[in-house]
Amino acid sequence: MPELPEVETVRRGLSPVMEGARIARAETRRDGLRWPFPDRMAERLTGARVLRLGRRSKYLLADLDTGETLITHLGMSGRMLISGHQLGEFQHDHPAPEKHDHVVLDMDNGARVTFNDPRRFGAMDLCETATLGDHKLIRVLGPEPLGNTFDEPYLQAALSHRNSPIKTALLDQGIIAGLGNIYVCEVLFRTGIHPTRKAARIAPARIAGLVPIIRDVLSEAIESGGSSLKDYRQADGDLGYFQHNFRVYGREGESCVTQGCTGRIRRITQSGRSTFYCAQCQR
């Protein structure tokens, strides 16, 4: 599933095409994805101007001049693809419709934004912009890890009474918004913390040390265009390449990259997800 860096990369790709442009025509090619589309979604989107394209956690947020916000979640395999617009040196013409093109937005600048989702775990919803913070998907989220409200004292307090493993605690979207499985594995490796350690039993200084590493890992991933493992693509169709920088994720059985370490990367399952770590480097 796309995590914060992938969604932020998509947002940055869509922004030049969508911000300030009007949706000349919106088309929905099915009734919904993970859940039904909101009533008259295509009609409510058609003619609306995109004032701002933002992101909250793993959700894309398009604020419209109609006073509504379009919320988009990419799910497991969702892609937002651009055609008919100059991207750098290349012109991406409109391709023929594909089987899994479920929502199509034709912008008044000639661009087309297509939401393609083979597994249909993605979602779209509309809500009043003024009450976005109260939306059921948004109100449960913790602070953004790249935002000003996410700092050492916050994380120390949030984890001080958590008896769950640190890996599980960091995946809790109510504690940190947008941090997912790949990047938690990478963060814990860089900080030398074993993924099964109980969060509340980790020294406050080590918890504080997670904050800058979380920021560094996410920032590096965004600059690399995210991680492409299966379905993820950037808005221009290109692959992300942060997966080439993985130090533990997906490297089961391979040698640890830490100089002087003779260990190999192990994999365990935590809460139904694979965790990758080095037992020698992480304690």
In three-state secondary structure terms, 274 is: strand
How far apart, in Å, do the first and last CA atoms of the chain sit?
28
pTM of the model: 0.89
Report pLDDT for 235: 55
Q: 71 exposed, middle or buried (CB, 10 Å; 0-12, 13-18, 19+)?
A: buried
Handedness of CA 51, 136, 143, 122 (dihedral sign): negative
Lookup: tokens for 264: 């190999």
Superfamily of domain 4-134, CATH level 4:
MutM-like, N-terminal (3.20.190.10)
Q: Which residues are catalytic?
A: 2-3, 58, 273
Please report, for the chain, the start and end positions of each structural domain, with discontinuous segments joined by +.
4-134, 152-278
Q: What is the pLDDT of residue 223?
A: 84
For 121-172, how does the pLDDT look when each residue is reduced to its tens digit (9 = 90+)?
A: 999 999 999 999 999 999 999 999 999 999 999 999 999 999 999 999 999 9
pLDDT at 116: 94
Residue whose tokens read 């013409």:
93
Q: Which portions of the chain are predicted below pLDDT 50?
A: 88-89, 228-234, 239-241
Report pLDDT digits (tens) over 228-243: 444 444 455 554 445 5
Residue 225: what pLDDT? 73
Architecture of domain 152-278: Orthogonal Bundle (1.10)
Task: Write down the number of H helices and E strands in the chain.
Answer: 6, 12
**Residues with Cβ within 8 Å of residue 158, at least 6 apart in sequence:** 142, 175
